[in-house]
Amino acid sequence: MAVKIRLQRHGKKGNPIYWIVIADEKSKRDGKYIEKLGTYDPNTNPASIELDFDSSVKWLEKGAQPTNTAKAILSYEGVLLRKHLNLGVQKGAFTEEEAKKRFDEWKKGKGAKIEKKIEDLESTLESNKKEARKREEEYSKKRSEESKAKEEAKAEEEAPAEEEAKAEETPPAEEEAPAEETPPAEEGSDEATPAEEK
């Protein structure tokens, strides 16, 4: 029975979470498995991996073959390096203490890289937010200026039209007003003269 270390898909549609499992080579992708080693969530940035380290090393030493993706995950977590160092200890190339020291150095460097990546992502996200706010402010300012310009243009168009309308309305009123005022004045003067005659 050939044993594989592979991923088993779980989670929602469009939001997968994978289990890292030990399974028979002939079993279905999401079928029966021998042991669950951990989980892999690619939806976070960086991807979050939870792994039973000792069990993974044990299965690799027994001869379980990882798939390409599982191999990349195990390498990222240092399982393959640990297996390699254990093999060196068995062959007598170096001592257990030396192997532990080398692994700790690698783990320390890897942790620093991951922290730097997280910091870079956070700073990039922050700068993107600032740029978006700045663009939004510029856009809102531009829109307000455009709306003011449109209102001013509309007011300028309406002002001459109103003046023309007033000009058209006012001259007939002035012409009619003197005509109305003069006849009563004349009548008043005519009435005054007969009174004076009496």
120-169 tens-digit pLDDT: 888 888 888 889 998 998 899 888 888 888 888 888 877 776 776 666 66
Predicted confidence at residue 2, as pLDDT, reads 87
Q: How confident is the model at residue 176 (pLDDT cuts 50, 70, 90)?
A: low
> Residue 185: pLDDT above 90?
no
Predicted confidence at residue 16, as pLDDT, reads 94
The rounded mean pLDDT for the chain is 83
> Residue 173: pLDDT above 50?
no
pTM: predicted TM-score of the whole model, two decimal places? 0.61
CATH class label, 3-93: alpha beta
> Residue 66: pLDDT above 90?
yes
Q: Please indicate whether residue 181 or residue 62 has the higher confidence score (pLDDT).
A: 62
Predicted confidence at residue 71, as pLDDT, reads 94
C-beta atoms surrounding 80 within 10 Å = 18
> Residue 7: pLDDT above 60?
yes
Of the listed ranges 53-67, 144-158, 177-191, the one predicted with least confidence: 177-191
